[in-house]
């Protein structure tokens, strides 16, 4: 499943960096395959994939 960091931070917004957030997700037992910028110059864009 893919989701954006902004979507995740709407639900849980710890004061940590994106890399630390990915590490914490991994330590919780979920797999973080990659962290990639989706739309560098756009704001308010959400991308999702339902599998």
Three-state SS sequence of 1-51: CECCHHHHHHHCCCCCCHHHHHHHHHHCCCCCCCCCCCCCCCCCCCCCECC
24 burial level (CB within 10 Å; 0-12, 13-18, 19+):
middle
Q: Which residues contact 19 (CB under 8 A, 6 or more apart)?
A: 35
Please write the tens of the pLDDT for every residue from 13-41: 889 998 999 999 999 999 999 888 766 67
Q: Where are the domains of the chain?
A: 1-38
What is residue 2's predicted lDDT score, i.e. its pLDDT?
82
């Amino acid at each position: 499943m893919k989701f954006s960091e902004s979507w995740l931070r709407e639900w849980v917004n710890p004061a940590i960096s994106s890399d630390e957030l990915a590490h914490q997700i991994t330590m919780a037992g979920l797999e973080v395959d990659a962290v990639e910028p989706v739309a560098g110059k756009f704001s308010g864009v959400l991308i999702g994939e339902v599998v």
